[in-house]
Chain A
Amino acid sequence: MRLTLRQRQVVWAYIFLSVSLVFFVVIRWYPTILAFNISFRDWNVFEAGGPWVGLQNYQEIWADFFKPRSAVRAAFWNTVRYVVLGVPTQMALGLGIAMLLGQIRRFVGFFRAAYFIPYVTSFVAVAFVWNWLYAPQSGLINQILQAFGLPPQPFTKSPNQALPAITAVAVWRSLGFTVIIFLAGLQQIPDIYYEAARIDGANRWQIFWRVTLPLLNPVIVYLSVLQTISFLRMFDLVQNMSEQGQGGPLKSTTTVVLEVYREGFSSYNMGYAAALTVILFFVILLITIFQLRVLSRRVEY
C-alpha cells in the first residue's frame, strides 16, 4: 500500500512522538490527574485515599479568599504582581544585554560568563547572599546608600518593599538564561536580512524594529510564555528569603505555590493544597493559550 505524502507525514510524526507521549502520559499526566482527584477529597497524607468531599475544598478556598487578610487572596495577588513586575523587566534586560554583547568585540567571553554566573550559583547560596546584601542595617546595599547620605531601606523586612526586592533577585538569577536564549535566537537570523536592510538604507532603529524583532518572534514567544509560567510558579526564592519561609512580612511576599506547600506539607491539608494547584493550573493554562495566540505569528520572509 502506498501512502500519500500527507499520510506518510502523520505516520512519521507519531513514530517520532511515541516514546515521549508514553512518557508524558505516565510520568506527567497521570500524577497530575491524581492531584486533580485529591482536590475533591479530604486527604491527609498519612491515610490512604481519604473521603470524597466533592467541591468542599474549592468552597473553602472561595470562602478563605474573602476573609479579612486572607493568605490565599494575598497569594493570588502577589503572584500577579510578581509576573507583572518580573516578566517585562526580565525580557527587556535580557534582550538589551544580548544585543550589547553582539556589539562588542573584546572580552565577549568574559561578559557572557559574567552574566551567566548567577544562574550556575547554587540556590541556597543565592538566597543567603541576597539576604545579606539586603540586611537593613549592616547589609552591603544599605552601607552603600548610607555612604551616599541616603536613608537605609528595610527591603525584605518591609511589607511594601519585600515583593519588589525578591522579584529583583529572581530577575538577577535567571537573566543569564534569557540572555543565552536571545543570543541563540540572534545567532540564527541569517545575515542576508541585515544586509538587505542596510542596502535599503534603514537605520539601526529601523533594523531593530523591522528585522531583528520580527525574526526573533519565536524566541520572544518562548521566553515570555516560559517566564510567565515560572513567575506564576514562584516558590523557592520566597521560601528561602522570607522569614521562616512563611511569605511575610504580613503575607506581602507569599505566592500560590508557597500556600500549596504550606497547606500540603506543614498543615497536611492535601485536598486543599491540590485544589489550589488545580486553580493555578487553569489560570496558567488560560494565560498561556492567550499568550500563544496573541504573540505567535508567522513571519513572512
Chain B
Amino acid sequence: MPSKRITLLLSLLTVVAVLLAACPAPAAPAGEAPAQTGAQTGAEQPAAEAPSEGPIEIEYWQYNFAARVDAMNQLIELFEAENPDIKVIHNADIPYDDFRDKIAASVPAGVGPDVVTLFYGWQVAWIDAGYLVPLPEDAFPPSMVAEEFSPMVQASFVDGTLFTLPTAVRTLALFYNKDLMEQAGLDPENPPKTLAELEEQAVQCTKMDANGNYEIMGFPVSMGGQAHHWFREVLLRQFGQQPYSDDYRKVLWNASDAGYAAWHELLKFQTELKTGDATLFDGDPNFFLNGRACFHIDGSFRLGTIASQAPDLNFGVIELPEYNGVKSTFGSYWTHGITKKAAADPRRMEAAVKFLQFITSPEAGSLWVKIVGELPAQLSAANDPELLADPKLGAFAAGLPYAHATFFVDESKDRQALIDAYDAVVLTGADPDQELDFAVQTVQELLDEFWASR
C-alpha cells in the first residue's frame, strides 16, 4: 500500500471518529426515551403493563452463593405470603466475580433489578451515577438505623442521606491453630489477647528449615487478604490515630507519629520479627487452611471455607488483639439498595420499600445467620446470647459494637495503594515512611476528586 493512501486512511478514520463523537449520548440505543426522561422503567417489563390493581412484580438481584440464594428464597417466600400483591423475581444466576460487569452492562440497556445487593464499598460510585435512590425517611428513619443497627452501618449514609441497608454484616477476628500452638510449647487455650502477646507467640510459633524456608509461619501478614483493613481501622486507632477526618475529606494515616508507628507495627511482623511471608504459599488464606500458619486475621466468611476444605483443622477464633486498651475491628457488609428503575413507578417503589424493610428486619437477620453464617446487622439479633456463646461466631459477634466500616470512595484503588506501599518496602527495601506518605497522597487524590465532583 502506498504511504500516501495510509496517511489518507488514518486521517479519514480520525475525522470519522471525531464527527461521530459529536452525535448524542453514546448509550443512545440504550437510553432511547426512558433514559432521557430519567425513568429507566423499560417498557418491556411485564409488570409495567399490568393493570394497576393486579399484583406487582419487582426484580431482586444478588450474586450466586448457594447459602445466600437459599436464605433469600426463604425470605421471599415469607414476604410474598405476607404481601400477596407483590411478586419478587429473584435473579442470583450471576457468578460472584462478574456481578459488577453484569450490572454495568444491564443498566444502560434498561434492564436490571429494582432492589439490588451490592458491597457497601461500591455505594459511592452507584449513588454518584444516580443509580441508587435515597431510602424514604418515613420508612427508614435515621434514628432507627442509629439505634437498631450495628454502628458500622453508618457507612450507608452518604452526605447525611441513607441509601442502603444490610441484612447481615461481617467483622474480623483472629484465627489460631491449636495444634501448632501446642507444638511450639504455647497454651492453645490462651491465644494472644494483646498485640504484644501476638508478637511474642507468633515468633515462638515460627519454624524455619536449614535453608531459611518457612516451615511454619507464626503470623503472615496478608495484604491481599484482610491486613490492609486491619491497618486502617484497627492498628491506626489503637496507636491513637484516626484513619480519616470525621467528614472523610482527609486521609490521616500519616498525620502523626502514631500513624507511622501503626504502619511500622504492620510491617514489623514480616521485616523484623520474620513471622511469615503471605506470598510464599499459593495464596491467602491457604497457608492457614493447610496448617502452616499459627495465627491469621480473617472474616467470618472463612469459617465456611475451613469447614469444606479443612474440616479436621483444630482451630479457634478470638477477638482481634487489643493495644493501649483499645479494641477495634473492621466491619463490612453487603447491603441492599433501591434503584432508579423502581423509583420511576410509585407502585414499584412502594413494593421495593416493603421488600427492603422485610429483608433488613431482625427476623431476617436471625434467619440469615442460621443459613449463611453472617452476623445479623440488627443489634437485637446480634446480641442473641446463643450467638455470642458460639465458639466460632462468638468472637465475630463480640466485635460488632466496636467495628468500623471504612467509607470507601474507590475501594479497590484504596486497597491497592496500601498493598503497593507494603510491597515496595518488603520487595524493594524502600523507605517505609516515604511509602506510607505516597499511599496517603494517592488515596487523598481519590478523595479530593470525589468531593470536588459533588
Residues of A bordering B, CB below 8 Å: 33-41, 43-50, 68-69, 131-132, 135-139, 146, 152, 154, 157-159, 243-244, 246, 248-251, 262, 264-268, 278, 285, 289, 292-293
- A158 engages B427 (CB within 8 Å): yes
Contacts of B214 in A (CB 8 A): 137
- A36 engages B104 (CB within 8 Å): no
Cβ distance A88 to chain B, nearest Cβ, rounded Å: 25
B141 in the interface, Cβ–Cβ < 8 Å?
no
B43 in the interface, Cβ–Cβ < 8 Å?
no
Tell me which of B27, B126, B428 has the highest count of chain A C-beta atoms within 10 A of its own C-beta: B27
Given contacts A262-B412, A267-B413, A250 and B428 within 8 Å (CB-CB): yes
Contacts of B129 in A (CB 8 A): 44-47, 268
Contacts of B410 in A (CB 8 A): 267
Contacts of B20 in A (CB 8 A): 33, 36-37
- B26 engages A37 (CB within 8 Å): yes
Cβ distance B431 to chain A, nearest Cβ, rounded Å: 14
In the bound complex, what is the Cα–Cα distance between A41 and B22 (angstroms)?
Answer: 10
- A49 engages B130 (CB within 8 Å): no
Contacts of A132 in B (CB 8 A): 282
In the bound complex, what is the Cα–Cα distance between A278 and B26 (angstroms)?
Answer: 15
In the bound complex, what is the Cα–Cα distance between A137 and B224 (angstroms)?
Answer: 18
Given contacts A48-B31, A250-B427, A135 and B26 within 8 Å (CB-CB): no
Contacts of B126 in A (CB 8 A): 46
Contacts of A50 in B (CB 8 A): 25-26
Cβ distance A93 to chain B, nearest Cβ, rounded Å: 28
In the bound complex, what is the Cα–Cα distance between A35 and B16 (angstroms)?
Answer: 13
- B424 engages A250 (CB within 8 Å): yes
- A49 engages B427 (CB within 8 Å): no
Contacts of A278 in B (CB 8 A): 17
Cβ distance A162 to chain B, nearest Cβ, rounded Å: 10
In the bound complex, what is the Cα–Cα distance between A267 and B446 (angstroms)?
Answer: 11
Given contacts A34-B26, A48-B25, A49-B24, A246 and B416 within 8 Å (CB-CB): yes
Cβ distance A124 to chain B, nearest Cβ, rounded Å: 10
- B420 engages A251 (CB within 8 Å): yes
Residues of B bordering A, CB below 8 Å: 1, 6, 10, 13, 16-17, 20-21, 23-28, 30-31, 35-36, 40, 100-101, 104, 107-108, 125-126, 128-131, 211, 213-214, 224, 279-283, 410, 412-413, 416, 419-420, 423-424, 427-428, 438
Cβ distance B30 to chain A, nearest Cβ, rounded Å: 7
Given contacts A44-B129, A69-B420, A132-B282, A265 and B101 within 8 Å (CB-CB): yes
Contact check: which of B23, B30, B279 meets A157 at CB < 8 Å?
Answer: B279
Some 28 contacts from A to B, beta carbons below 8 A apart, are A33-B16, A34-B26, A37-B20, A37-B21, A44-B129, A45-B129, A49-B25, A49-B26, A68-B438, A131-B283, A135-B281, A136-B279, A136-B281, A138-B282, A139-B282, A158-B427, A159-B427, A243-B419, A248-B416, A248-B419, A248-B423, A251-B420, A267-B125, A267-B410, A267-B412, A267-B413, A285-B13, A293-B1
- B280 engages A36 (CB within 8 Å): no
Contacts of B424 in A (CB 8 A): 250
In the bound complex, what is the Cα–Cα distance between A84 and B420 (angstroms)?
Answer: 26
Quick one: closest A residue to B14, CB to CB?
Answer: A282
Cβ distance B411 to chain A, nearest Cβ, rounded Å: 8
Cβ distance B134 to chain A, nearest Cβ, rounded Å: 15
- B438 engages A246 (CB within 8 Å): no
Cβ distance B119 to chain A, nearest Cβ, rounded Å: 11
Contacts of A249 in B (CB 8 A): 279, 423, 427
- B213 engages A152 (CB within 8 Å): yes
Quick one: closest A residue to B27, CB to CB?
Answer: A48
In the bound complex, what is the Cα–Cα distance between A35 and B108 (angstroms)?
Answer: 14
In the bound complex, what is the Cα–Cα distance between A292 and B427 (angstroms)?
Answer: 42
Given contacts A46-B107, A157-B279, A267-B410, A137 and B25 within 8 Å (CB-CB): no
Quick one: closest A residue to B36, CB to CB?
Answer: A48
- B281 engages A137 (CB within 8 Å): yes
Given contacts A45-B108, A48-B25, A250 and B125 within 8 Å (CB-CB): no
In the bound complex, what is the Cα–Cα distance between A135 and B290 (angstroms)?
Answer: 15
- A45 engages B26 (CB within 8 Å): no
Contact check: which of B36, B125, B224 meets A44 at CB < 8 Å?
Answer: B125
Given contacts A137-B280, A267-B413, A69 and B438 within 8 Å (CB-CB): yes
- A49 engages B213 (CB within 8 Å): no
Contact check: which of A40, A45, A135, A246 meets B21 at CB < 8 Å?
Answer: A40
